[in-house]
A and B are shown apart, each in its own frame.
Chain A
C-alpha cells in the first residue's frame, strides 16, 4: 500500500512544479490546447499566502494594487467601496490582540468541540439552533478556525504587514457585497502578478463587535466592514498549481424540452 502511495506521489508532483522554460501564449488569442497565457497563469497559480515577510510592500505598489480595485466593475457603476490601508505595526498588533480576545470570548460560549463530554453535550444542545440561523458564519470551517485561534494554535491576520480593509457601502445598487468581491479579486490578481502574496481575512468581522474599532475606522451608516485583504511579500513562496475537485456542469445545447448534457469539467 505504501509503495503505491509513493509511486503516485512522484507522478502527481510533476504537474505541480513549474518548469523554468515554460512558454506562455500571447494575450487575445485562442487555439485548442494552447499553453496558459500570463493572465490565466496568475489566476491558476494564485494561492492564498498566509506567511509573510515582516517588511511591508512599497507604497507605489500598494497604490498600484488599489488602482486595480478602483477600476473593478460594479453594478450601475455605483462603486460601493471605501478602502482603508493599515500599514502601522502598532495598530496591526493591537488588532490581532483584540481579535484573539473576541474569538476567545465567543468560543467560551459556543465551542462544542472542546472540553469534557458533559460540557460538549450541553453546549451542543443550544448551539445547533444558532448554527441553523447563522449557517454561513458558523460553517464548520470558520468555526474550526475560530476555535484554533482561541486555543492559540493559529493567528488571525497571519502577520500580514499591510491590510486593506474593504468597507462596503450598503446603499450600492444590486448586491454591493458582490461588487466588493469583484474589487478584491482584481486587487489580489494585480498583487500576485507583481510577485506579492495576499489573503482574504473574514475574521475582521470579530473586530466589528468592539465599538473601539468601529470608531477608529469610521465604520457607521452607510458603511459596513466584512472583509479585509492582507498583502505582503510571501515567505516562503507559496504560489503554484494544485489539484481541485472536478465539477459536473449542465450544458443546455438543444431545444426547450431536451434534458441538459452533463459534462465533467476538469477531466
Chain B
C-alpha cells in the first residue's frame, strides 16, 4: 500500500500538468466498429468525439452519427484526456469494439492508496 509523505501533503494540487494525471487509455477496434455513435452519446463528459460530431450534437439528433467517422478520445491542449475509466462506452457498445487498457490514476494530492492498476470483471467468490 502507498503512503503520503509530508511533501506530498503540503504540495498544492494543480492539474494543468500531464504528469499529475494519468488518464485512462481506450482502444477502438476499427474492424468491429459500425460507427453508430452510441459511445459518443453515453460518454459522461463528452470526452469521446468523432471528427465531425460531439456529444451535444448527438443528444439532439441521433441520425447525425451515421457516417461520421471513427470515435476517438478528445485530447486537450495540454496533452491530457478527460477519460476517467468509467467504461460506460464499453458496456453500451453493441459490437464490443472498445477495450480499456489503463486505469484512471491521479497522482500527488489525489493519488489512490489502496488500488492496484489491474482491471478485472466482477468475480464470483
Interface of A toward B, CB cutoff 8 Å:
5-6, 8-9, 12-13, 15-17, 32-36, 44, 47-51, 112-114, 120, 124, 128-129, 131-132, 135, 139-141, 143-145, 148, 152-155, 158-159, 236-249, 262, 264, 266-267
Contact = CB atoms under 8 A, between A and B. Distances in A.
A92 B51 CA distance: 30
A159 B90 CA distance: 21
A132 B13 CA distance: 7
Interface string B93-123: 0101111110100100110101111111111
B4 interface: no
Nearest to B62: A235
Nearest to B1: A248
17 contacts: A9-B96, A36-B124, A48-B88, A124-B16, A153-B55, A154-B55, A155-B56, A236-B41, A236-B92, A237-B92, A238-B88, A243-B100, A244-B122, A245-B118, A248-B115, A248-B116, A249-B114
Contacts of B88: 47-48, 50, 238, 242
Interface in B4-63: 12-16, 21, 27, 29, 31, 38, 41-47, 54-56, 59
A113 B76 contact: yes
Nearest to A2: B27
B118 A12 contact: no
Nearest to B76: A113
A139 to B, nearest CB: 7
Given A9-B98, A112-B16, A128-B12, 4 more contacts: A5-B27, A155-B56, A236-B41, A245-B119
Most buried by A among B42, B77, B84, B117: B42
A244 B119 contact: yes
A119 to B, nearest CB: 12
B43 to A, nearest CB: 8
B120 to A, nearest CB: 5
A99 to B, nearest CB: 14
Contact of B78 (A9, A113, A243): A113
A121 to B, nearest CB: 9
Nearest to B106: A140
B31 to A, nearest CB: 8
A236 B38 contact: yes
B91 to A, nearest CB: 3
B99 A246 contact: no
A245 B116 contact: yes
A204 B46 CA distance: 18
Contacts of B16: 112-113, 120, 124
B120 A246 contact: yes
A155 B59 contact: yes
Given A47-B88, A51-B59, A152-B56, A267 B120 contact: yes
Contacts of A12: 99, 121
Given A112-B16, A131-B14, A132-B12, A154 B116 contact: no
A154 B106 CA distance: 22
Contacts of A128: 12-14
Nearest to B49: A153
